[in-house]
Amino acid sequence: MSAPGESMEGLTLEQIANRLGGELVGSGQVVVRRLRPLASATRADITFLNREKLRPLLAQTDAAAVILPESLRGSLPKSGNAIFTADPYLYYARLSQWFWALAQPAFEPGCHVTAQIDPAARVSPQARVDAFAVVEAGAEIAEGAHIGAGCFVGRDAVIGPGTVLHPRSSVAWGCRLGARCVLQSGAVVGSDGFGYARDASGAGVKIAQVGIAVLEDDVEVGANSTIDRGALDNTEIGTGVKIDNLVQIAHNVRIGAHTALAGCVGVSGSAEIGAYCFIGGGVGIAGHLSIVDGVVIGGMSLVSRSVRQPGMYTGAFPLDTHANWERNAATVRQLHQLRDRVRHLEQHIESLKSEPST
């Protein structure tokens, strides 16, 4: 039994270079069976080097081959085998997918006897539905889709080709997932948005959430993350968006293609995030604002206004000793007073400059 990400039969370096590209130096017939870090790789492994600070490990690693940046041409590991490429980390990512696919059991379509599938649901004969999953009336499960054990697919929901719902994830009524999406365990797509009006007594009156959530192709949603359905319009997640674990996406949010959100991000209702953005862990994004394409938000920042220019933004208060933090926090509370004093001094200096010299 092979370990996760390990291929019993392995791959030759020639096979890897032919499929993924790069310049192969050394023996193309060397067989590698898994990816490992530089420091712990063995003669059955291939590894990669993408940071200059790890360069001393190149001469020490026991790896059968190393994926190296083109800037290190002329440098080789002890094995004498290397693949040179413009981006070793990207190369590693693609190779990891290949090893992972080789280690997986063959996909076997069909529906488990304990799965509860409504007769009015449309499940492709080339899809798979595992034990104790529930598929309601009108739902569509496309070919190659895999509905894991204990999953829930609500009425009229659509699960696209090759999409995978890991055990105990849920897609609520009417929501749509495109091709090759992935929901990790505990993820929920289409939960009710948080919308309430207040009556005369101040009590909350629920607003029915009648929109849906739409995930385009190649979206990945981490464990226990939630994407709320829209209140009136839809919540829309663009192609290739990657969402980490424990992320909250509120109703009517729109996220552009290939944006990534790290763990514990919270996005409030009706916010719009552009394409190719990266939102660091623990970031809070207020509602009804917009962030343009190509923005990076540093971890633990609070975004309380729209971001209209691409670039990197950070709004977190740096960690410090408690005593220093108290002093700095006290100073921050007085910034407006200090600003007024500086303005007064500037005006006084200008007035002195304008006085005739004696």
Residues with catalytic function: 251
Length of the chain: 358
Of 21, 20, 48, 49, whose CA–CA distance to 34 is shortest?
Answer: 48
Cα–Cα distance measured from residue 162 to residue 181, given in angstroms and rounded to the nearest whole number: 7
Q: Which are the contacts of 340, defined by CB distance < 8 A and separation ≥ 6?
A: none
Distance (Å) of CA 312 to CA 1, 18, 51, 152, 293: 45, 37, 22, 39, 11
Alpha helix ranges (H) inside the chain: 13-20, 88-103, 322-333, 335-354
Cα–Cα distance measured from residue 62 to residue 47, given in angstroms and rounded to the nearest whole number: 10
Backbone φ and ψ for 307, nearest 5 degrees, come out as -110, 115
Max CA distance (Å), the chain: 102
Q: 153-157: long-range contacts at Cβ-Cβ below 8 A with a sequence spacing of 24 or more?
A: 153/121, 154/190, 155/118, 157/190
Cα–Cα distance measured from residue 356 to residue 270, given in angstroms and rounded to the nearest whole number: 59
Q: Cβ of 5: how many Cβ atoms within 10 Å?
A: 17
Backbone φ and ψ for 20, nearest 5 degrees, come out as -105, -10
DSSP 16-84: HHHHH--EEES-TT-EE-EE--TTT--TTEEEE---GGGGGGGGT---SEEEEEGGGTT---TT--EEE
Distance (Å) of CA 138 to CA 57, 135, 179, 223, 344: 57, 9, 19, 26, 70
- In the sheet where 34-35 sits, what is the strand order? 23-25, 82-85, 65-69, 45-48, 34-35
Do the Cβ atoms of 261 and 243 come closer than 8 Å? yes
